[in-house]
Chain A
Amino acid sequence: MSAVSVKESAGSFGWVRSAETARVLGTLVLTLGVIAWAGGDLFRQDLALLGATYALLALGMYLPFNLAGALSLAYSAYVAIGGYAVGLVATETGWPLPVAYLLGAVASAVLAVVLGFATRRLSGFYLAAVTLLFGVAFQSFLLDAKEITGGALGIGSIRPLTLFGGEVDRRSFIALTLLVVWIVAVAVDRVRRSPFGVALQSSRDVPAAVEAAGIGVPALRLTVLGAGAAIASVGGGLFTTANQTIGPDTFTLSLVMLAIFMPLLGGQGSAWGAVLGAVLVVELTFNLQIFERAGSLIFGIAVLAVLLIAPRGILGYAGQGARWLRGRLTRTGGTR
């Protein structure tokens, strides 16, 4: 932000800026905490990796679904594209793996825009159904196109990432992945509060007003569908790099269902709600599942409970509590 605009509105923007700084640094500390927690423990690494992948998937869906209200269920395909891009680049070419992340993101974005264009007149149930069918068809394609995808076996022995001439070991790679999640979450949350994000949120409730202001709503939707698919695809690419294998069963359709619930549980009011939701899902369905196979059920019931009694999610209520506290302390009005 330029010095001029700070001066223009020193009062309110000064506060917003410090809150933003606190948010960015606070989440960075948390991310570093998770990296330290995962450490060298293989099981914890798995949990961290899965959580990071889920978080990227949920962050990818956050812009089109939570902000713009367009529920596309094709995201399992985009995550898989990211994974297969890594598999193909690693086994068929000598290119560095970051090229695969880029290719996967571009391919997913293009596919999402094409699918979004084909379904541009649909919303709600019909959009959900058609995009779900796309996911089904893509799963069949992965099994069927054996020359490309390796069929049911998938692609194995994927080489690890090399950076600056050295191989990145699993521990460091997972640390990198978690940092990527942090960067993407910070970026997505900033987009939410940016003019673009305001247009996006307005397009859900009052699309006619967004059109009348000069922003083409169909183009706006396609833009975020593409961006969201690219983010989800990066998640798939990172997951595949860490596990060194990808198959048609790696990313299933039910994953998308989990991804819908993550921001609901965590809180839709902020992109960090999606991340918190991803952490909770991993904790409930994998970590707790080992002791008691009811983790997924607990998760399902928690989602229903949130839908019924706490529509703002966990972060929404935490934020409300914090605002109330701040109001008591400073006796000034709250700021979003």
Chain B
Amino acid sequence: MSAQLWVSVVQIGCFFGLVALGYYLVLEGADFFNFALGPFAMFSGLTASWLMAQQGWPLGFAAVLGIAIAAVLAVVTEVALVRPIDARTGGGELPSLIAVVAVLFAVEQLAGTLFGRQLMPGRSWLPDTTLDLGFVTVDGQTLVLVACTLVSFTGVWVWMRKSKYGRILRAVGSNREAARTLGMPVGRVRLVAFALAGLVVGLAGQLFSAKAGVSFQSGFGWALSGFLALVIGGTGSVWAPLAGGLLLALAQTLVPYYLGSASLDYAVLAVAILFFALRPSGLFVRRVRV
């Protein structure tokens, strides 16, 4: 395998890791998988691409607006949909799952209607920079992605340790009932977790659409990849999603390289079934962190 492929592994892995970080935050705060995070990332990327290509916006403004919209979508999902449905159904898993799938579909269609249904290119944040490491050259966009990933993970890590809401989020993630009994603002922390997840995946969508382009249907695959990355990494630590993302990217690059393209999907399915069948609850058991 050429060294250049490793650059690609790191790039894709960082992207998956960021989406998985979004899942992680919502999982800690609200105890469910927000599959709509993939489409939020798509919406962020597509908004910026459309603003730049069709409206002539500069990259900076377009990117900031795209990320902000992703966060707004995440917050609206929680306030207008997940919370009322949870309240009506008593917090069952299936209703929130269906609600999230409906959001996924609606956001996808909204993007398709607003921005058109074709693939749009993203724009690199550092188009003129490359880093030559001798055995391999790294393009500017990958450098930005890696840097933003490290900053995001470090930021969330510090936030969850130092800030009031971050610490409450960790407490809620460990034991929701206890947190509620202790009078912690569980609802507000949920909202913060959703918003933060929206920001993180919004950024991820910006950075990754420059590599592969983005279309209104990109979010579905991204959502699945992010979910897998989180499943592989686990929720034992803030950094686990990044490890999962890198592992998933490695597998996605290596398996087709050696075994052919369809084998990847078989391998993913087999691993998922084995993983879930053998460790039905083991993976998501959290250490008690007091």
Contacts and interface: CB of A to CB of B under 8 A. Distances in A.
Q: Do A and B bind each other?
A: yes
Interface of A: 69, 71, 118-119, 121-126, 128-130, 132-134, 136-137, 139-141, 143-144, 253-254, 257, 260-261, 264, 293-294, 296-297, 299-301, 303-304, 307-308, 311
A257 B111 CA distance: 17
Contacts of B84: 308
Interface string B15-39: 0000000000000000011000000
Contact of B106 (A71, A122, A134, A303): A303
Interface residues of B, number: 44
Nearest to A122: B276
Contact of B93 (A119, A124, A130, A297): A124
A137 B276 contact: no
Contacts, number: 115
Nearest to A298: B109
Interface of B: 32-33, 80-81, 84-85, 88, 93-95, 97-99, 101-106, 108-110, 112-113, 117, 217, 220, 224, 227-228, 231, 260-262, 264-266, 268-269, 272-273, 276-277, 280
Please report whether the interface of chain A is mostly helix, strand, loop or mixed according to DSSP. helix
A121 B276 contact: yes
B99 A140 contact: no
Given A121-B276, A143-B262, A261 B93 contact: no
Given A118-B277, A126-B276, A296-B112, A307 B98 contact: yes
Given A121-B277, A297-B110, A134 B269 contact: yes
A124 B94 contact: yes
Which of A125, A132, A293 has the most chain B CB atoms inside 10 A of its CB?
A: A125
Given A119-B277, A124-B93, A133-B224, A260 B113 contact: no
Given A297-B106, A308-B85, A125 B112 contact: no
A113 B227 CA distance: 25
A303 B105 contact: yes
A69 B89 CA distance: 14
A133 B109 contact: no
Contact of B81 (A124, A140, A260, A304): A304
